[in-house]
Amino acid sequence: MDERAQIGSVELRVQDLDRSRRFYTEALGLEPVGDDPLALGAGGRPLVVLGEVEPGTPAPPSTTGLFHLAILHPSRAELAKALRRLAERDGRLDGASDHAVSEALYLHDPDFNGIELYRDRPREEWPEGPDGGVGMVTLPLDVRSLLAEAEPVDGGPAHPDTTMGHVHLRVSDLERSVAFYRDELGMSLRARYGDQAAFLAAGEYHHHVGVNTWHSLGGGPPPPGSAGLERFTIASPADQPQTLRDPDGIELALQPSQ
């Protein structure tokens, strides 16, 4: 896969469009993009696209699908503003971690779709992994010190350079998923943690796609009518438009980047 590839938009099934639109615009600072009020993003790029589903019950964690979508902020200062925006709207975090390559905040939307808000450290600071990839770790993040760096949000939107950094998926068979994203899509395996999690990327990024079997080993797709992931897109200068499904039936669209 072309090293310039990146994740485009993530399409979600939700129970209540108005509720979800308020969450993504007010709590996360995304804006409507173009003529579609359900396509929300930054800098004119759609990052999250909402679609309604009934009854819209959360997908059980034992099923395959979305673990989290990950919104990449262009600097630590912008991540701090994202945290302040969330705090001003009484948003609650599920966790916060220092991964050595990045600093990340974790939460979920009203339909329990997982969300990561993060910023990357400079690439020269990324530690090398034992197999030549990246050495990602999970250490506590000092949320109070991050919040102390935040400038006033004043109701403003997310920075226009905010992008969808990666998607992390729940899969049923790690080896099968690694083979698909590595051998069929041409991503490189950048890090692996035993037989439960792996991280793959186009080029030398730390990861564009994460896969894990922490709760979903041997699981199947969520029941019909579940909230969750509809599909995600990968944009690359070398891509020809096509729609694929990974071994768990998760839909992804390859699209030429603009």
DSSP state of 166: E
Residue 99 falls inside a structural domain = yes
Q: What is the pLDDT of residues 21-53, one digit of tens each?
A: 999 999 999 999 999 999 999 999 999 999 999
The pLDDT value given to residue 240: 80
Among 56, 101, 75, 229, which residue's Cα sits nearest to residue 161? Answer: 75
Place of tokens 């919104």: 71
Rg (C-alpha) for the chain, rounded Å, is: 17
Which residues touch 258 (CB under 8 Å, ≥6 apart)? Answer: 235
Among 187, 236, 227, 233, which residue's Cα sits nearest to residue 211? Answer: 187
Q: What is the pLDDT of residues 45-103, one digit of tens each?
A: 999 999 999 999 999 999 999 999 999 999 999 999 999 999 999 889 999 999 999 99
Domain count for the chain, please give it: 1
More confident residue, 256 or 178: 178
Residue 169 falls inside a structural domain = yes
The pLDDT value given to residue 238: 73
Residue 257 falls inside a structural domain = no
Contact 47, 162 (CB under 8 A): yes
Question: Is the backbone of residue 179 left (phi > 0), alpha (psi -120 to 50) or beta?
Answer: alpha
The burial of 125, by beta-carbon neighbours within 10 Å (0-12 exposed, 13-18 middle, 19 or more buried), is given as exposed
Residue 245 falls inside a structural domain = no
Rounded average pLDDT over 206-235? 97
The pLDDT value given to residue 11: 98
Contact 206, 102 (CB under 8 A): yes
Residue 238 falls inside a structural domain = no
Range of the domain at 149: 6-232
Q: Is the dihedral of CA 48, 167, 162, 26 positive or negative?
A: positive
d(CA 85, CA 158): 9
d(CA 129, CA 208): 17
Structure tokens at 150: 């935040």
C-alpha distance across the termini of the chain, in Å: 17
Query: pTM, whole model, 2 decimals?
Result: 0.97
The pLDDT value given to residue 253: 96
pLDDT of residue 1 exceeding 70, the answer is yes
pLDDT of residue 151 exceeding 90, the answer is no
The pLDDT value given to residue 155: 76
How wide is the angle at C-alpha 149 spanned by C-alphas 145 and 153, nearest 5°?
A: 130
Residue 201 falls inside a structural domain = yes
d(CA 8, CA 258): 11
d(CA 30, CA 8): 14
Residue 14 falls inside a structural domain = yes
pLDDT, mean over the chain: 95
The pLDDT value given to residue 258: 66
Rounded average pLDDT over 197-205? 96
Residue 25 falls inside a structural domain = yes
CATH number for the domain that contains residue 92: 3.10.180.10
What 3-state class would DSSP assign to 81? helix
Q: What is the pLDDT of residues 161-183, one digit of tens each?
A: 999 999 999 999 999 999 999 99
